[in-house]
Amino acid sequence: MGGTSVSTDRQEGTVGAKAHRHPNYVLVGIVLIVLTILEVGVIGLPVPQLPFLLGFAIAKALLILMYFMHLKFDSRLYAVLFAYPWPLALLLVGMLIWVYFGFRA
């Protein structure tokens, strides 16, 4: 009889799985809406807009990755594999911005 419960647990996916709370998707959606409104509001301000827009975009991307793609609740290996290429990507984007805006030969 004990073997039956183990196979049932395996079928349900509960063996070795960590229980976690379900995220509040409505709250995450509201935060994403607020960040979008702030992005639109920054457009009209007489300040350099790029740092604000990049910050809002990164915050929104992290929220989506952590909650809707479940990286916050999965193994750390997935987060590391996803985060590993980011320094190179940021370096390349920075170089492109420098070439486009700042480099004059």
Measured between alpha carbons, how far is 90 from 100 in angstroms, rounded to an integer? 15
What is the domain count for the chain? 2
Lowest mean pLDDT segment, chosen from 20-24, 41-45, 61-65, 71-75: 20-24
Q: For residue 100, give its domain range.
A: 75-105
* 68 and 37 belong to one structural domain: yes
In a domain, 14, yes or no: no
* 69 and 84 belong to one structural domain: no
CB 102 within 8 A of CB 94: no
* 46 and 64 belong to one structural domain: yes
* 66 and 81 belong to one structural domain: no
pLDDT tens sequence across 46-104: 988 888 888 899 899 888 888 887 777 778 888 778 778 888 888 998 888 888 887 66
More confident residue, 17 or 37: 37
In a domain, 15, yes or no: no
* 57 and 94 belong to one structural domain: no
Q: Which two tokens stand for residue 39?
A: 């992005």
In a domain, 93, yes or no: yes
In a domain, 17, yes or no: no
> What is the secondary structure of 19-62 as a DSSP string?
P-PPP-HHHHHHHHHHHHHHHHHHHTSSS-HHHHHHHHHHHHHH
Confidence check: pLDDT of 19 > 70: no
